[in-house]
A and B are shown apart, each in its own frame.
Chain A
């Protein structure tokens, strides 16, 4: 059982907008620690998608955006494309350790 809770799956049609939630507690996200998001295409290594709650590394399309409020964070993807089909993980910090969400599989219909 993961410290951070994500929905197992989400789906959307090309061009649509989807959001993925990441729910924590007062000892991690609620304590003010940053949330980061990673994209993992099956069979490949994770890739940093969003850092520091809202920031995109160079090369990440602005279709991807992050937000954080209270004990939760969200990843939004607009203008959904077939290449966005992947697993998405949130990550934060808790009691001296790095913690991940259980992951969300995004299916592009």
Chain B
């Protein structure tokens, strides 16, 4: 079965850190470009960033508001992508989704169920 499963969400204080994981199955994870998208409560989708495959040297890119605070990495031996979040702010409270970017369709074709991150004191 094709799937992505996120984990690692939870409650964290402002200024704290959290690392999310995203495990892929049922598709060629190592050859896929993986992205993170978040959704604040009651709000729309917001692109966080992406990591390309080894064919593109694991290049990363981030949205402006997350650059310098968030780091995306991957371990293809574990079919896992990560989102390291540092210096967290209350506004970072959201459901975080990982998603596979299809290089055939140039769109996000596989989505995880999401993991909730709550930043609060």
Contacts and interface: CB of A to CB of B under 8 A. Distances in A.
| Chain B binding surface SS class | strand
A100 B47 contact: yes
B40 to A, nearest CB: 12
Interface in A26-52: 34, 36, 38, 40, 44-48, 51-52
Nearest to A100: B45
B63 A97 contact: yes
A61 interface: no
A45 B112 contact: yes
Residue with the highest number of chain B CB atoms closer than 10 Å, among A34, A40, A97: A97
Interface in A57-109: 57, 87, 89, 91, 96-103
B9 to A, nearest CB: 14
A53 B111 CA distance: 20
A48 B109 contact: yes
Q: Which of A52, A55, A96, A98 has the most CB of B within 10 A?
A: A98
A34 B63 CA distance: 19
A89 B44 contact: yes
Contacts of A97: 47, 61, 63
Residue among B44, B105, B111, B112 having the largest count of chain A Cβ atoms under 10 Å: B44
- Interface size class of chain A, counting residues whose CB lies under 8 Å from the partner chain: 20 to 34
B46 interface: yes
Contact of B47 (A36, A38, A55, A98): A98
The 9 closest A-B pairs by CB, nearest first: A51-B107, A36-B107, A103-B44, A51-B105, A98-B47, A45-B111, A100-B45, A102-B44, A48-B109
Interface of A: 2, 34, 36, 38, 40, 44-48, 51-52, 55, 57, 87, 89, 91, 96-103
16 contacts: A36-B106, A36-B107, A38-B108, A45-B114, A48-B105, A51-B102, A51-B109, A52-B105, A55-B105, A91-B107, A91-B108, A98-B50, A100-B44, A100-B46, A101-B44, A102-B44
